[in-house]
Amino acid sequence: MTPIQKPSQVFDAVQRAKAGAAAFCTNFFPVESKLRGWIDHGELFAELRNGVAFFFRKDRDFLRFYFCAADVATLQREIAAWPGLKTEHVITDLVGNESTVNDLVSALEPAGFGRHTQLQRLVRTGRSESATDNPRVGFAEKADGRAVLGLIEDAFDRYGEQLPMLYEIEQAIEGRQILAARRDGELAGLLFFETQGLASTVRFWAVAEKFRDLKTGSALIRHYFKIHGAVRRFTLWVNARNENAIQKYRHFGYAPDGLIDQVLANRLIPA
> In a 3-state reduction of DSSP, which class is residue 63?
strand
What is the domain count for the chain?
2
Note whether 10 and 52 are same-domain residues: yes
Residue 135 within a domain? yes
Note whether 203 and 153 are same-domain residues: yes
Residue 31 within a domain? yes
| Integer Cα distance of 102 and 104 in angstroms | 5
Domain span at residue 62 reads: 2-116+262-266
- Whether the per-residue pLDDT at 36 is higher than 70: the answer is yes
Structure confidence by residue, pLDDT tens digits, 104-128: 999 999 999 999 999 999 999 987 6
Contact 152, 192 (CB under 8 A): yes
Q: What is the pTM of this model?
A: 0.91
Note whether 132 and 109 are same-domain residues: no
Structure confidence by residue, pLDDT tens digits, 49-94: 888 999 999 999 999 999 999 999 999 999 999 999 999 999 999 9
- If we measure between CA atoms, which residue out of 262, 202, 206, 196 comes closest to residue 235? 202
Note whether 140 and 83 are same-domain residues: no
pLDDT score for 133: 64
CATH of the domain at 112: 3.40.630
Note whether 108 and 10 are same-domain residues: yes
Note whether 102 and 142 are same-domain residues: no
- Whether the per-residue pLDDT at 44 is higher than 90: the answer is yes
Structure confidence by residue, pLDDT tens digits, 128-185: 666 666 768 999 999 999 999 999 999 999 999 999 999 999 999 999 999 999 998 8
pLDDT score for 220: 95
Residue 242 within a domain? no
